[in-house]
């Protein structure tokens, strides 16, 4: 999947996952936020791939945790405008 497609897929997935932030997520254009969307999609794709193969439940759990961590970063990036500046 191309980078921009992955970013937009991550954006849409996060908008569904975090409905209380949907409007902010869909309007986001900060480079850090866009990177988070892309990273989220990549983590979800990797988790789903490992899950389909059913050979390592611990790895699935690790990817689930990674997705949750990225979700927390997205929430902070949406709520705190200065968060993006501090982490870039």
- pLDDT tens for 66-80 read 999 999 999 999 888
What the block records as the tokens of 59 is 């790895």
Give the residue, 4 or 70, on which the prediction is more confident: 70
| Confidence check: pLDDT of 85 > 60 | no
Domain with 7 in it? 3-87
Q: How many structural domains comprise the chain?
A: 1
**Tens-place pLDDT, residues 11-27:** 999 999 999 999 999 99
Cα separation, 59 vs 75, in Å, equals 24
Cα separation, 20 vs 39, in Å, equals 20
Q: Identify the CA nearest to 13 among candidates 37, 47, 39.
A: 37
Instruction: Give the residue-averaged pLDDT of 7-11.
Output: 98
Q: How many residues does the chain have?
A: 88
Cα separation, 8 vs 37, in Å, equals 7
Tokens 């389909």, residue? 52
Confidence (pTM):
0.86
């Amino acid at each position: 999947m191309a980078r921009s497609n992955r970013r937009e897929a991550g954006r849409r997935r996060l908008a569904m996952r975090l409905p209380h932030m949907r409007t902010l997520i869909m309007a986001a254009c900060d480079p850090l936020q866009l990177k988070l969307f892309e990273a989220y999609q990549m983590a979800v794709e990797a988790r789903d791939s490992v899950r389909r193969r059913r050979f390592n439940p611990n790895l699935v759990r690790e990817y689930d945790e990674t997705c949750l961590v990225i979700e927390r970063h997205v929430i902070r990036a949406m709520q705190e405008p200065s968060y993006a500046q501090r982490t870039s």
